Amino acid sequence: MIGQLRLGFWVRVMTTAVAISVALFPFLWMLRTSVASVEEQRSLAISPLPASFDFGNYSAALQEGNLISAMLNGFIVCAAILAFQLITVVPAAFAFSVLRFRGRSVLFLTVLSALLIPVQMTAVPNFLMMNQIGLIDTRWALILPFATSAFGVFLIRQQMSTVPTALVDAARTDGLTTTQTLLRVHTPLAMPAIAAFSLFSFYVHWNDYLWPLLVTRSESLRTPPLALAIFQQVELGFEFGKLCAGAAIVTMPVLIAFLLAQRRFVEGMAGGEIVG
Amino acid sequence: MTTGEIRAEKKASAPSRRLHLAGNALRWKGATPWMLLAPALALIIVFTLGPTLVTLLASLSHISLIEKTWTFIGLENYREAINSEEVWQAARNTLIFSVLTIGPSVAIGLGLALLVDSFSRGRAVLRTLLFLPMTANLVAMSIVFSWIFAYRGGFANSLLAVFGVGPLNFLADASTALPTVAALEVWRASSFNMVIYLAGLTTIPLVVHEAAAVDGLRGWAKFRRVLWPLLGPSTVFVTVITVIGAFQVFDSISIMTDGGPLGATETVLYLVYRLGFRIFRFGYASALAFLLLAVTVLLGLARARVLARTELR
């Protein structure tokens, strides 16, 4: 009996080890390739660590792949998108969760219906719109279509709805205006949801590839995944050392965000997938 | 879920509404709610709902980007789509890709969740490590997977060589290209599905486990008769999410195969992209986009219905 349990335990440990190896293998292979010499990259003898470490591929990726300006641009675009989203989403979430007014249900349904529509579907008309108003190949084209988020309204409203009515009444008794109630009571209390949404927004827009591909031409407006994809085309897919270094650089920011705030990150992602 | 959500909301808010009306009702009336909502609503209408209607109109038109003209041509684009071999191939590829992705990623996700849950210690660490694939940048990982499955010097072929097989030209061979792209999606989706199943497992009350123990249910019997039925909502959820994800796959196809070889990995969304933005046939591309949207929305609604039903039970 005990022997059986032990066996079961070790089988589970082994299976877990295999699962983790498979989950991490592409990351490790990426890092290994990025520091190994070209001969070693192609050698059939597979050793977990390369014989020598060479970080030349990283500087090559940053310079030849134009990743420095792309990373900078990526941060600017993500920060601008998030700023616009929070300014528009938080008040809307507050209105839906606390205020009672005519047409509330209809308007909330309108927001919910937007959740059913994937971004890719609106790409053609949004591209035509940007083309019409002459914003193609500007930073505005990267930011404006994402200046609000139906998902954000949904996620933050959910948490604001849990604020007790007594607290709202107390705030009003103390003479707080609606705006003050929003800023001093509901925004701090909804901070976990706001954090989860912010991480989700960063994840989505840092990684977005299709939209920047459609609306930018200039090198200075490329976002990290787009710059990486173009680097791959330039290198014709041969210089895997440089490409893997570039891939590691582009992956890093989101990975760090995840490791720093795992719980909120998963909440944002799961919430995003639950409704979207 | 949509209607269930609204209903639950109404019920919960009924007493508080009375309170507000009894108190200082005027304050909450007037323009305040509208001012708070206006920016978000306007942007949603301009960039999401409006464009969806425009896609519908565009699908009924011939659009010239240079002359900036729209000509109404009725259902002509849809007729062309249905009669196009290219479209059917893309639809087949999308379906095959979905099938290749769903089964493995749901099964692996469930297996991993049960495995992680079976340990009394270290669950948090395991969960973190196994969730990492989901945090990776898809363009970056497409490049890494292209390298792993490269014809010359790729890890997969080095491994196959040990068994005296290959080398296979994974991404350039029409029979292996789509499964290879699907492998990346399975790798990613499994880690996400695991997290959802883990969340599902934690909602099962301890009493259920105790009752199962009393009834002598262990191992496979317990899984089949207790855990699997209780995980039903999670299964519906991950399945629909994975299908929708498979319908929207773009980055990996763009980087790994560009729809090739000979259209073997061209999905419907990728065809929409190619027709719209390489050949500039916006009307025709919109018709395809709208057909894909219709299927996606139907799936979303089906999920909402199933979830609403399981919650009511």
Helix (H) or strand (E) holding B62: strand B61-64
Separation in Å, CA B242 to CA A257, B247, B267, B303? 24, 9, 15, 12
Q: Is B63 helix (H, G, I), strand (E, B) or coil?
A: strand
ipTM (interface pTM)? 0.89
For residue A149, pLDDT over 80 is answered with yes
Partner B contacted by A206 (CB < 8 A): yes
Helix (H) or strand (E) holding B190: helix B177-202
Residue range(s) occupied by CATH 1.10.3720.10 in chain B: 79-312
pLDDT at position B217, please?
Answer: 85
pLDDT at position A179, please?
Answer: 85
Side-chain half-sphere exposure of B154, counting CA atoms within 13 A: 21
Q: Which residue in chain A has the smallest CA separation from B249?
A: A120
Chains A and B form CB pairs within 8 A to the count of: 274
pLDDT at position A245, please?
Answer: 93
* Residues contacting B235, CB < 8 A, separation 6+: B106, B110
Return d(Cα B296, Cα A111) in angstroms, integer.
18
For residue A140, pLDDT over 90 is answered with yes
| Residue, of B161 and A48, whose pLDDT is higher | B161
Return d(Cα A182, Cα A170) in angstroms, integer.
13
3-state SS, A145-198, equals HHCCCHHHHHHHHHHHCCCCHHHHHHHHHCCCCHHHHHHHHHHHHCHHHHHHHH
For residue B115, pLDDT over 80 is answered with yes
For residue A178, pLDDT over 50 is answered with yes
Q: What's the longest Cα–Cα distance across chain B?
A: 81
Q: Which residue in chain B has the smallest CA separation from A17?
A: B126
Partner A contacted by B255 (CB < 8 A): yes
Return d(Cα A144, Cα A130) in angstroms, integer.
10
Find out whether B252 and B100 touch, Cβ atoms under 8 Å: no
User: Which CATH code for domain B79-312?
Assistant: 1.10.3720.10
Q: Which residues of B touch A262 (CB under 8 A)?
A: 128, 131
B18, B20, B44: best to mutate for the A interface, most A CBs within 10 A: B44
Least reliable range by pLDDT among A235-239, B26-30, B62-66? B26-30
For residue B23, pLDDT over 50 is answered with no
pLDDT at position A6, please?
Answer: 65
pLDDT at position A273, please?
Answer: 47
For residue B1, pLDDT over 70 is answered with no
Return d(Cα B144, Cα A247) in angstroms, integer.
8
For residue B105, pLDDT over 90 is answered with yes
Return d(Cα B80, Cα B185) in angstroms, integer.
31
For residue A274, pLDDT over 80 is answered with no
All structural domains of chain A with their residue ranges: 2-44, 59-275
pLDDT at position B307, please?
Answer: 60
Exposed (0-12), middle (13-18) or buried (19+): which is B39, by Cβ within 10 Å? middle
Query: Which tens digits make up the pLDDT trace of B129-186?
Result: 999 999 999 999 999 999 999 888 888 988 888 898 878 899 988 899 999 999 999 9
Closest by CA position to B234, among listed B261, B262, B206, B202: B202
Residue type (1 letter), B43: L
Return d(Cα B187, Cα A21) in angstroms, integer.
12
pLDDT at position A42, please?
Answer: 61
Averaged pLDDT of chain A: 87
Separation in Å, CA A213 to CA A237, A249, B142? 19, 19, 16
For residue A237, pLDDT over 70 is answered with no
pLDDT at position B310, please?
Answer: 58
For residue B244, pLDDT over 50 is answered with yes
Q: Is B72 helix (H, G, I), strand (E, B) or coil?
A: strand
Query: Which tens digits make up the pLDDT trace of B56-80?
Result: 888 898 887 777 778 888 888 999 8
Residue type (1 letter), B65: L
Averaged pLDDT of chain B: 84
- A99 contacts B40? CB cut-off 8 A: no
Residue B276: which pLDDT band, with cuts at 50, 70 and 90? confident
Residue for token digits 């959740």? A115
| Residue, of B62 and A88, whose pLDDT is higher | A88
- CB neighbourhood size of B195 (10 A): 22
DSSP state of B53: H
Return d(Cα A131, Cα B298) in angstroms, integer.
31
Return d(Cα B1, Cα A274) in angstroms, integer.
10
Residue type (1 letter), A89: V
We find that the CATH architecture of domain A59-275 is Orthogonal Bundle (1.10)
- The mean pLDDT of B223-242, rounded to a whole number, is 88
With the CA atoms of A164, A169, A174 and A178 taken in that order, what torsion angle do they form, in degrees rounded to the nearest 10? 90
pLDDT exceeding 90 applies to what percent of chain B? Answer: 41
| Residue, of A211 and B306, whose pLDDT is higher | A211
Q: Is B71 helix (H, G, I), strand (E, B) or coil?
A: strand
For residue B2, pLDDT over 50 is answered with no
Residue B308: which pLDDT band, with cuts at 50, 70 and 90? low
Closest by CA position to A206, among listed B48, B191, B138: B138
Partner A contacted by B115 (CB < 8 A): yes
Q: Which residues of B touch A206 (CB under 8 A)?
A: 137
pLDDT at position B218, please?
Answer: 82
Closest by CA position to A177, among listed B116, B24, B68, B299: B24
- A94 contacts B286? CB cut-off 8 A: no
Q: Which residues of A touch B158 (CB under 8 A)?
A: 44, 46
Return d(Cα B147, Cα B157) in angstroms, integer.
11
pLDDT at position A118, please?
Answer: 79
Q: Which of residues 12-31 of B touch A (CB under 8 A)?
A: 12-13, 15-17, 19-21, 23-24, 27-29
Q: Which residues of A touch B195 (CB under 8 A)?
A: 266, 269-270
For residue A269, pLDDT over 90 is answered with no
| Residue, of A94 and A45, whose pLDDT is higher | A94
- B187 contacts A111? CB cut-off 8 A: no
pLDDT exceeding 70 applies to what percent of chain A? Answer: 89
Query: Which tens digits make up the pLDDT trace of A61-83?
Result: 898 888 999 999 999 999 999 99
Residue for token digits 């000509």? B71
- B55 contacts A121? CB cut-off 8 A: yes
Partner A contacted by B52 (CB < 8 A): yes
pLDDT at position B15, please?
Answer: 42
- The mean pLDDT of A222-250, rounded to a whole number, is 88
Q: Where on the phi/psi map is residue A127: left (φ > 0), alpha (ψ -120 to 50), or beta? A: alpha
Alpha-carbon Rg for chain B in angstroms: 25
